[in-house]
Chains A and B, each alone.
Chain A
Amino acid sequence: AQTVTQSQPEMSVQEAETVTLSCTYDTSESNYYLFWYKQPPSRQMILVIRQEAYKQQNATENRFSVNFQKAAKSFSLKISDSQLGDTAMYFCAFMLTYSGNTPLVFGKGTRLSVIA
């Protein structure tokens, strides 16, 4: 079974600063995807970024980027130039890709507060 661990239950960052959220996972499979989802106070889940395990290049989406270390099974999210709207719960998630539509396995989340 796959597991996802987010070791930082809560974090805070000053507006305009950079913050990194940690995520590690455990799997014996080689083909999978990794995701970061954001859940603001509205509780709507929003995809932030995705990474295919077969790609060595780290994914980036504007101010969001990941550091994907496949051998270490680590998938951290870096948020640059933090904005007040980044305040949310952030969930790391894992998905196998070997066949069909497979469910996501989520970590327990990191609550990020951006301080003005």
Chain B
Amino acid sequence: DGGITQSPKYLFRKEGQNVTLSCEQNLNHDAMYWYRQDPGQGLRLIYYSQIVNDFQKGDIAEGYSVSREKKESFPLTVTSAQKNPTAFYLCASSPGTANEQYFGPGTRLTVT
């Protein structure tokens, strides 16, 4: 079955630790995206990548980093510089221009 997987579903970390969230897709989509969801805030764009080895910052990129070494994978690292990392993180992909995005099931990150 084609789709987008995010792992793990729930992730717990201590403050000051970096953590990497996984996003994999087998849809052969060119573009991939990371969004953050907080209560009452909707979804906000962290980073996106239109092709392999290229990515752009979104509206709230500070404290996050990404890589796109393979078409299928777009991992997100939440660094210790992110002031308030506890949130629900959604990964998405799209096949081409002017197409809807397909979303993964999300990862709930809790930092204490």
Contacts and interface: CB of A to CB of B under 8 A. Distances in A.
Q: Do A and B interact?
A: yes
B90 A45 contact: yes
Contacts of B103: 44-45
Contacts of A35: 100
Given A43-B105, A100-B50, A106 B98 contact: no
A109 B42 contact: yes
A104 B106 CA distance: 17
Contacts of B45: 103-105
A95 B73 CA distance: 23
Contacts of A91: 42-43
A100 B58 CA distance: 15
Contacts of A101: 30-31, 48, 50, 94, 96-97, 99
B40 A108 contact: yes
B33 interface: yes
Contacts of B30: 101
Contacts of B94: 101
A95 B98 contact: yes
A45 B30 CA distance: 20
Contact of A9 (B40, B43, B44, B90): B40
Interface string A92-116: 0001010111011111110000000
B101 interface: yes
A89 to B, nearest CB: 9
Interface string B20-49: 000000000011010100001111110010
Interface of B: 30-31, 33, 35, 40-45, 48, 50, 58, 88, 90, 92, 94, 96-101, 103, 105-106
18 contacts: A9-B40, A44-B103, A44-B105, A47-B100, A91-B42, A97-B97, A97-B98, A100-B50, A101-B50, A103-B58, A104-B45, A104-B101, A105-B45, A106-B42, A106-B43, A106-B44, A107-B42, A108-B42
Interface of A: 9, 33, 35, 42-45, 47, 50, 52, 91, 95, 97, 99-101, 103-109
